[in-house]
Amino acid sequence: MAECRRIARIILHGFHRHYQRFSAITAEAKLHFAKREWHAMQRAARERISFYDERVKETIALLRKDGVDDEPNETLWQDVRSFYEELLQFHPQAELAETFFNSVFCKLFHRRYFHNQFIFVESTLARRIPLPVESEYRSYFPVAEGVQETLRRMISEFDFHAPFADLESSVAQLMRAFQRQAKVRALAAHQLRVDILENPFYRNKAAYVVGRIVTEEQSYPFIVPVLVNSDGELYVDALITDVNQMTIIFSFSRAYFMVECRAPSALVRFLKSIMPRKTLAELYSSIGLHKQGKTEFYRELLHHFAHSDEQLVAAPGIRGLVMMVFTLPSFPYVFKVIRDEFGESKPFGRDTVLSRYQLVKRHDRVGRMADTIEYSNVALPINRISDDLLAELKRSVAGSLEFEGDLLIIRHLYIEKRMIPLNMYLEYASIEETEAIVADYGKAIKEMIAANIFPGDMLLKNFGVTRTRRVVFYDYDEVQYLHEMNFRSLPKATNYHDSLMDGNSVSVAPNDVFPEQLPTYVFPQKRLRDLFMSLHPELADPEFWRTQQARVASGVLPDIFPYPQDIRFLHVKYDEKSPLPD
């Protein structure tokens, strides 16, 4: 018994070291925000991603030093799991500590032990009294002090470490914005309560206040972005009450938030209550707890297998030269495995692909690059894999496969949110939809390059369309930093001999790019090419790309807002004589 308790405490102590470090660097975000230290904010977000794996390795080393062998004593490790569960009975991060235990165990031992006797395949949280959601938010009661004073207190009580440029003006703008919202404008002060999450959500150049208005019938969620001006003073930028816009702010295509949190399960339940379409996996990942997001995703997958009989099939669309992609038709994700051999047009190997996916994982995705969930040694039941897919897997990714009885083991796998491939979307889009999505395709490229990302292969098949009709990039095998590229103009013919030379006669280095070829390369159809050029002619101009490189080199970080420009207060016109609500 003493040995099992010692092992359990070593693992839990390892988790505590991880979460303390995670929390410390997260707490620094508010100072970076107040001081406009944007590069420091991004650097902290990148560094935080690796903390978990470092602590897992450290904990494993301690267990090895303590005498833990490669082959587990089954009775001992069942006792370890049981005592560890006892230690988590009132732990504020119990679900994260369970996942940490799983990570340590799965690195130590063979996958034949990966079941609920030894690890937490199922969370024990369902058998416990849940942590109160109220522990993560505070409530305000307008009936006691009026709407205006409630909003003033709501904003001023956040410790942003910087003063407001004009708090009264921000409060007045918020009040008028709430008044304009059809869903809440008819409510009087005595008919509502306002719940606000205790800590702001920091990302890039903004802090987001997240809350809800509660009435007897229902609740109305909202997000308030707070920005800081060049003088280091704060101002409220907008009021967001549309749930679709809120889900875009919490999108899988954006960097993880920095938000202080003592009870993650309570925080996530609050977020789930205001964005019900978001899964637990997405919400945990959005607040930087991407390992917990992996755990919750795997549970969702097991649940889906248990409640359906459909089979995995090859994903629709053009087959990729680097990745073999498959999916479950009713499950909104795709599974990607690196092929054993690449096409001739891909002059790089497996290690390059792995490093480029890591690059995107740690970079600011600016709402235009899908997050990936990375797994090792994933077991899939063979009877849930269609015959055609199984044959294709054996042909194209045999080096990544193992067979154990009735299971197929995939050694390395990426999972992404499924989207409609952009080329397929355009086949059925109306004229209006086509114009909107081609415009957003160009905007997506501009936002990526402003963030120092060169997509590489910009064919439409490598982009997807989300449920909210946004264009998102998802194929990273040719991704590089913008500053590494050489943007060149196509040579102009100066004599008759030059005019007879084709494009293949031009000397091209590995990182040379000719933007003038982009419209023809991406849009073989003249109708779409002309539309693209009417909307984004600068993307065919090498000088535009070189200008963006210069901005990146000078340290300029772009202002990319995850909400529409037309709802920002600086663009909204008010009737200043209209009375404020109360």
Phi-psi map region of 456: left, alpha, beta (phi>0 left; psi -120 to 50 alpha): left
Q: What is d(CA 514, CA 517) in angstroms, rounded to the nearest whole number?
A: 6
108 annotated as a binding-site residue: no
Distance (Å, whole) CA 280 – CA 298 = 11
Contact (CB, 8 A) for 581 and 175: yes
Does 318 show up as a binding residue in the annotation?
Answer: yes
Q: Was 321 annotated as part of a binding site?
A: yes
To the question of whether residue 272 is assigned a binding role by annotation, the answer is no
| 336 annotated as belonging to a binding site for a ligand | yes
Instruction: Report the alpha-carbon distance of residue 334 to residue 315 in Å, rounded.
Output: 7
DSSP E strands in 205-362: the ranges are 206-214, 219-228, 234-236, 313-314, 323-327, 333-338
Beta bridge partners of 314: 326
DSSP label at residue 164: B
Sign of the CA dihedral running 491, 496, 500, 506:
negative
CA distance 433 to 67: 63
In angstroms, the Cα distances linking 20 to 15, 40, 182, 260 are: 9, 20, 43, 11
Instruction: Give per-residue burial for 119-146: e unless 16+ CB within 10 Å, then b.
Output: bbeebbeeeeeebebeebbeebebeeee
Strand partners, 414: 336, 374
**CA neighbours within 13 Å on the CB side: how many for 249?**
29
* Distance from C-alpha of 244 to C-alpha of 250, rounded to nearest angstrom: 10
For CA atoms 343, 347, 349, 355, give the dihedral sign. Answer: negative
Report the catalytic residues.
371
- End-to-end Cα spacing for the chain: 64
Tell whether residue 316 is among the known ligand binding residues: yes
Binding-site residues for ATP, in ranges, read 315-321, 336
Binding-site residues, in ranges, read 315-321, 336
